[in-house]
Amino acid sequence: MDFGKILEEWDSEHQGATDTGRSFSDDQYIPTATELKRMNPQRTLDLHGYTAEEAKTFVFDFLKSSYRSGLFKVMIIHGKGYHSKGGRPVLQKVVYECLDASPYAGKRGTPPRELGGSGAVWIAIKKPAK
């Protein structure tokens, strides 16, 4: 999916744009889709070396903590599975299942190669509903 399209959808879900192009919710600054696109992840979780069960706990805690901290964009490094038994990625599947189940995970996508590429995922953290 096109990264720009994902961000436009995210931006449209966060209503309240002002004349300056920035969105606000109860005095809380929310970046526009363009700002979010340019933003580096504010926090990263690296799951290399962890089991699937450990990863589940870490991912849910990471997303909840990021939400409570007021972050907008985070990244989870799950690796490409090169060292997994059978050569199949285990953690990638676990991460995406957690993202689907989490009330804090919004739009997501693959970061650029220099930030992990297909071995990672960026996530826009959902903001509280008004």
pLDDT tens digits in sequence order for the chain, 130 residues long: 455 555 555 555 544 333 333 334 455 678 887 788 789 999 999 999 899 999 999 999 999 999 999 999 999 999 987 777 777 778 999 999 999 999 999 999 999 898 888 899 999 999 866 5
Which tokens is 15 given?
């209503």
Torsion over CA: 110, 113, 116, 118 (sign): positive
Cα–chain-centroid distance for residue 58?
A: 14
Residue 18 maps to a domain: no
- The C-alpha R_g of the chain, in whole angstroms, comes to 15
Q: Are strands 28-30 and 105-109 parallel, antiparallel or unpaired?
A: unpaired
CATH code of residue 70: 3.30.1370.110
Candidates 78, 116, 85; CA nearest to 99 is 78
3-class SS of residue 96: helix
Provide the β-strand partners of residue 45. 76
Residue 80 near residue 48, CB atoms below 8 Å:
no
Residue 109 maps to a domain: yes
- Amino acid 17: pLDDT: 35
Backbone angles phi, psi at 65, to 5 degrees: -65, -40
Backbone angles phi, psi at 104, to 5 degrees: -100, -15
Euclidean distance between CA atoms 125 and 130, whole angstroms: 15
pTM above 0.85, yes or no: no
Residue 17 maps to a domain: no
The number of distinct structural domains making up the chain is: 1
Domain region containing 75 = 40-125
Residue 32 maps to a domain: no
3-class SS of residue 48: coil
